[in-house]
Amino acid sequence: DTGVSQNPRHKITKRGQNVTFRCDPISEHNRLYWYRQTLGQGPEFLTYFQNEAQLEKSRLLSDRFSAERPKGSFSTLEIQRTEQGDSAMYLCASSLTGQRFYGYTFGSGTRLTVV
Amino acid sequence: GQQVMQIPQYQHVQEGEDFTTYCNSSTTLSNIQWYKQRPGGHPVFLIQLVKSGEVKKQKRLTFQFGEAKKNSSLHITATQTTDVGTYFCARTLYNTDKLIFGTGTRLQVFP
């Protein structure tokens, strides 16, 4: 297992287009998280899943954002009708719940630029 | 609010000097986690503190959790250029696994 994998690494899109990102977590991890990070800021929580169930979604997330985790494995994050303010690094992380905590493992992220 | 504040925002040190970043919350924390993000990289988990007054060490890094569980610190002894990056503390809220990141401290080390 090579860790959390995110694709694509970079995405440039025109305003108004839809984009979809994919995250493949560490296989035995049951929790998966999406964060957004802009330059000079800390990661901002978007949503998270336990297995296939979406447990929480940030109130900051507009209806243009949707995430899925079918079958509790990989996850996709879709942004519809992109806006310039959506430009950011989108980070995925996974973790395993249990007695001992090993932290969140983050992927390398997908950098979105909306032009 | 829910976010934890970190100070300083930036720190430039000469290699070999010590460095400390502080994390403060207005509410009691159930736990505190620390992450390091290298320039151009992604956050990497360093440690989690859970107990009041807890102190943990990782080589040159010392992590502390305050007695009141409202603050935490990360101290690096004799910094090296490999310590360059942004250090984030992060909290989870009670009854949720959502991780809220602090504002971060960017460390620059000059050789």
pLDDT tens for each residue of B31-81: 999 999 999 999 999 999 999 999 999 999 999 999 999 999 999 999 999
Q: Which chain A residues are closer than 8 Å to B100 by Cβ?
A: 45
Q: What span, in angstroms and rounded, lies between the C-alpha atoms of B34 and B64?
A: 11
Residue among B31, B25, B29, B46 nearest B88 (CA)? B46
Q: How confident is the model at residue B21 (pLDDT cuts 50, 70, 90)?
A: very high
pLDDT value of position A59: 85
Q: Which residue of A has its CA nearest to B38?
A: A108
Q: Do B48 and A44 touch (CB under 8 A)?
A: no
Q: Which has the minimum average pLDDT: A32-36, B89-93, B95-99?
A: B95-99
pLDDT digits (tens, 9 = 90+) for A45-94: 999 999 999 998 998 788 999 999 998 899 999 999 999 999 999 999 99
Q: What amino acid is encoded at B27 in this protein? A: T
Q: What amino acid is encoded at A56 in this protein? A: E
The angle subtended at Cα B108 by Cα B107 and Cα B111, nearest 5°, is 140
| Ramachandran angles phi, psi of B83, nearest 5° | -85, -5
Q: What amino acid is encoded at A92 in this protein? A: C
DSSP, residue by residue, A34-101: EEEE-TTS--EEEEEEETTEEEEE-TT--TTEEEE-GGGS-EEEEESS--GGG-EEEEEEEE--SSS-
**Best residue in B7, B42, B54, B91 to probe A by mutation, most A CBs within 10 Å?**
B42
Mean pLDDT, residues B71-94 taken together? 95
